[in-house]
């Protein structure tokens, strides 16, 4: 179960220059991850899930500006680290499974060498020890015939097996935190469940914290201890899973939950929340969800709802959360 905070982030802002526009991708995000905790970050495409985590790791691409008041991981203040120090922490202390598999796997390098490389780059093990450990890791993530498979190239594996190799690389140096960006999205449902079961098992065996980024609310509720819901670059709700399922308080989360419940009832079509998420081209001054919100009032269009404590461990950024709960209930 959750105990000590491992990662603490306060007031993270990331914006990009795109042509003459500025994209306000992350707008004042604060959260923490405790040791051994599994935190899900959910939200629609473009809500800022990947940019939030990649900003902390120094991995945002393009013309980006990152501002953060505080980002502490274990003993390190991440914004104070040099690119070299950050690179060393990434991979050794924080394992990352990237959303784009091509970022992680080199198509022209044998997979065994790639897993070994993950250890050698951080001087984590001698070549001999790294070789033996690679075989152990391939077995640990469920790849049969590890000795033979060591020599294969990524294209010789199925999508699920490639995902297992990426997990092996990410955990090779025994990180305390694993960031998994959409680790199951491209996989079919059965393989998706197998990968989640593997992550669950690794988490228990290694007492590793995991941040799993997903647009799938069902994956998050089944797998995580706590969920952060993002909308237009902000966290709009944060709570333990049980609280989310029992009493979601933000109209956006309520909409996400309803669409999950409907998938569960056979034959009925999924009814997503009507409307589209905005591309944020100016700093948010009001509730970005207002154009899609059935509970919106004038105040919502005039005043930014701050993330506030609704009950212990449950935070929400909605002016009307208390009324919404009773109206939606």
- What is the binding site for ligand ATP (CB under 6 A)? 16, 18, 23, 25, 43, 45-51, 61-62, 99, 215, 279
When binding is defined by CB under 6 A, the residue of 40, 43, 175, 305 that contacts ligand SF4 is 305
CB 318 within 8 A of CB 249: yes
Please give the residues from 85 up to 144 whose contact with Mg ion meets the rule CB under 5 A.
99
Q: What is the DSSP letter of 144?
A: S
Count of chain residues binding ligand SF4 (CB under 6 A) = 13
State the binding partner of 23 from Mg ion, ligand SF4, ligand ATP, none, CB within 5 to 8 A by kind.
Answer: ligand ATP
Backbone angles phi, psi at 181, to 5 degrees: -95, 105
Q: Which is nearer to ligand SF4, 56 or 256 (CB)?
A: 256
Q: For ligand SF4, which is the closer residue by CB, 120 or 296?
A: 296
Candidate residues 94, 290, 307, 310; the one interacting with ligand SF4 per rule CB under 6 A:
290
Name the β-bridge partners of 70: 10
* Options 50, 214, 238, 253; binder of Mg ion; rule CB under 5 A: 50
Residues listed for the chain:
329
| DSSP-derived 3-state class of residue 49 | helix
Among 287, 307, 310, 314, binds ligand SF4 (CB under 6 A): 287
Q: Least distance to ligand ATP from the beta carbon of 149, Å? A: 30
Nearest C-alpha neighbor of 256 from the set 286, 211, 292: 292
Cβ nearer to ligand SF4, comparing 2 with 325: 325
Q: Is position 14 an interface residue for Mg ion (rule: CB under 5 A)?
A: no
C-alpha span between 14 and 56 (Å, rounded): 10
Least CB distance to ligand ATP at residue 43 (A): 6
Of the two residues 12 and 300, which places its CB atom closer to ligand SF4 in the complex?
A: 300
- Give the Cα separation of 294 and 43 in Å (integer): 18
Angle 159-171/127-140 helices, nearest 10 degrees? Answer: 130
212 vs 287 by CB, closer to ligand SF4:
287
What is the chain's Cα-based Rg? 20
| Cβ-contact 288, 319 below 8 angstroms | no
Contact (CB, 8 A) for 285 and 240: no
The site for ligand SF4 (CB under 6 A) is made up of 250-251, 287, 289-290, 293, 295-296, 300, 305, 318-320
């Amino acid at each position: 179960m959750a105990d000590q905070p491992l990662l603490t982030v306060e007031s993270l802002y990331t914006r990009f220059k795109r042509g003459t526009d500025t994209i306000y991708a992350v707008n004042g995000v604060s959260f923490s991850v405790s040791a051994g905790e599994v935190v899900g970050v959910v939200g629609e495409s473009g809500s800022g899930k990947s940019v939030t985590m990649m900003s902390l790791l120094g991995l945002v691409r393009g013309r980006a500006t990152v501002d953060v008041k505080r980002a502490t991981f274990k003993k390190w203040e991440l914004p104070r680290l040099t690119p070299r120090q950050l690179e060393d922490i990434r991979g050794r202390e924080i394992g990352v499974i990237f959303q784009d598999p091509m970022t992680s796997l080199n198509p022209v390098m044998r997979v065994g060498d790639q897993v070994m490389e993950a250890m050698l780059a951080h001087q984590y093990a001698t070549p001999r020890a790294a070789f033996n450990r690679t075989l152990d890791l391939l077995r640990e993530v469920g790849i049969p015939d590890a000795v033979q498979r060591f020599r294969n190239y990524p294209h010789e594996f199925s999508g699920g097996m490639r995902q297992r190799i990426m997990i092996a690389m990410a955990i090779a140096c025994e990180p305390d935190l694993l960031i998994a960006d959409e680790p199951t999205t491209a996989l079919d449902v059965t393989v998706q469940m197998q990968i989640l079961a593997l992550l669950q098992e690794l988490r228990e065996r290694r007492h590793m914290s995991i941040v799993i980024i997903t647009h799938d609310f069902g994956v998050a509720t089944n797998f995580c201890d706590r969920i952060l819901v993002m909308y237009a670059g902000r966290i709009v709700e944060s709570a333990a899973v049980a609280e989310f399922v029992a009493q979601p308080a933000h109209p956006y989360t309520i909409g996400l939950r309803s669409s999950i419940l409907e998938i569960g009832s056979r034959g009925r079509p999924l009814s997503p929340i009507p409307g589209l998420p905005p591309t944020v081209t100016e700093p948010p001054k009001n509730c970005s969800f207002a154009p899609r919100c059935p509970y919106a009032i004038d105040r919502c269009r005039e005043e930014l709802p701050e993330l506030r404590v609704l009950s212990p461990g449950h935070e929400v950024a909605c002016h009307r959360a208390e009324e919404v709960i009773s109206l939606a209930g």
